[in-house]
Amino acid sequence: MKVKEKPKTKEKLKTKAKVKALSLLLALTLALGMTACGDAGSSEPSSPRTLTDPSGVEITVPEEINTVAVLAPSLAEMVVALGFGDKIEAYDTTSIGLEGLKEDAVVLDLSAPDMEQLVNLRPDVLLVTNLSLYDQENPYQTLIDLGVCVACVPTSDSIADIESDIAFVASVFGAQEKGQEIIDDMQSQVDQIAAIGKTITEKKSVYFEISAAPYMYSFGNGVFLNEMLELIGAENILASESGWLGVTEEVVVNADPDVILTNVNYIDDPIGEIKSRSGWEAVAAVKNGEVYYIDNMASSVPDHNVVKALKEMAAAVYPEYYGE
């Protein structure tokens, strides 16, 4: 299989929408670049709780959390869902417009946040993923020295890991019961979809596009979106590959998928663009009109809202099984 290397022209991603569309891809591509986000520093005798964050670092959670900064839309949505959105005083650019966030909060660059702004804010808790300042060994030491609790939640590759992340963020806020409620509701919906998916014997092949031509991107196994395709009873045409992939048109055309899904939202008509590609008219999905859009944020951000994308994927690929 011919696979392109990831293009190094991030400056071409000029719109906020494109940043959102590719934020997850970039996060996972960089996943090996940072295994931990910081050192917890020393604990005060009165500090009530010590936790180990998902990156494996021991952190000390303050007794009272009044101010929070988040540098990932997944973490922002988790905090909001847990009922603490009003405490978020700073968030990243890809989180702009998310429900439950203050419009007048400090907005930071996700991959290179302004440390001076964070120092001035001095939040009680800073939640980050392995995407933020990934190229520095310990970018948050100044904040840690000031007493900021810095917790790193590396981007998850599976639904089980997403649920574990929710449980961790809930534990930071001492809201384990609410966190478990979110997880239980999420898992219940996943189980319902999976139960139907197991009954499907004639599986459709699917190509899921997360970046349009000429820089076509998709994924193989080891990605939560691939797991979601399997749950609905479908087969990813790239399942023999691993991780996030740059794909050639030849690969897709030769695979002849039954269905094409796209979450590209930075062009006006992503479905029409796919259908109009030269040489794609004989692809089964194009020929039969089986090309569908899946909500960008729900399918790009690894949090509880992936259930929305899972339902959309199921209804698009197998309306006869999952339709209303």
Residue 112's closest CA among 135, 89, 95, 90? 135
Question: CATH number, domain at 66?
Answer: 3.40.50.1980
Residue 36 is predicted with a pLDDT of 41
Q: What's the chain's length in residues? A: 324
- Rounded distance between C-alpha atoms, residue 232 and residue 269, angstroms: 26
The answer to the question of residue 257 being in a domain is yes
Residue 120's closest CA among 69, 44, 60, 172? 69
Residue 20 is predicted with a pLDDT of 41
Same structural domain for residues 151 and 203? no
Answer yes or no: is pLDDT of 18 > 50.
no
Same structural domain for residues 276 and 220? yes
Same structural domain for residues 52 and 135? yes
For the segment 212-239, the average pLDDT, to the nearest whole number, is 97
Per the model's pLDDT, the better-predicted residue between 131 and 94 turns out to be 94
What integer best gives the mean pLDDT of the chain? Answer: 87
Answer yes or no: is pLDDT of 38 > 90.
no
Boundary of a domain, candidates 155, 183, 218? 155
The pLDDT tens digits of the residues spanning 120-144 come to 999 999 999 988 866 677 889 999 9
How is the chain split among helix, strand and coil, in percent rounded to 5?
A: 40, 15, 45
Domain that holds residue 297: 199-322
| 3-state DSSP of 211-254 | ECCCCCEEECECCHHHHHHHHCCCEECCCCCECEEEECHHHHHH
- Rounded distance between C-alpha atoms, residue 66 and residue 88, angstroms: 9
Q: At what angle do helices 159-172 and 176-197 cross, to 10 degrees?
A: 170
Is the alpha carbon torsion for 147, 79, 106, 134 positive or negative?
positive
Residue 40 is predicted with a pLDDT of 39
pLDDT above 90: percentage of residues in the chain: 80
User: If pLDDT is split at 50, 70 and 90, which confidence band does 323 have?
Assistant: confident
Same structural domain for residues 50 and 151? yes
Per the model's pLDDT, the better-predicted residue between 242 and 25 turns out to be 242
The pLDDT tens digits of the residues spanning 250-268 come to 999 999 999 999 999 999 9
The pLDDT tens digits of the residues spanning 181-218 come to 999 999 999 999 999 999 999 999 999 999 999 999 99
Answer yes or no: is pLDDT of 34 > 70.
no
Place of tokens 């991780």: 243
For the segment 156-166, the average pLDDT, to the nearest whole number, is 97
Same structural domain for residues 124 and 207? no
Query: How many CA atoms does the CB half-sphere of 105 hold within 13 Å?
Result: 27
Answer yes or no: is pLDDT of 10 > 50.
no
Answer yes or no: is pLDDT of 73 > 60.
yes
Same structural domain for residues 34 and 88? yes
Residue 132 is predicted with a pLDDT of 81
3-state secondary structure of 294: coil
- Rounded distance between C-alpha atoms, residue 298 and residue 186, angstroms: 13
State how many domains the chain has: 2
Residue 130 is predicted with a pLDDT of 86
Same structural domain for residues 148 and 245? no
Place of tokens 């020929």: 287
Answer yes or no: is pLDDT of 42 > 60.
no
Structure tokens at 32: 């090996």
Boundary of a domain, candidates 129, 155, 181? 155
- Amino acid identity of residue 168, one-letter, is F
Continuous H helices in 62-221: 73-81, 115-121, 141-145, 159-172, 176-197
3-state secondary structure of 92: strand
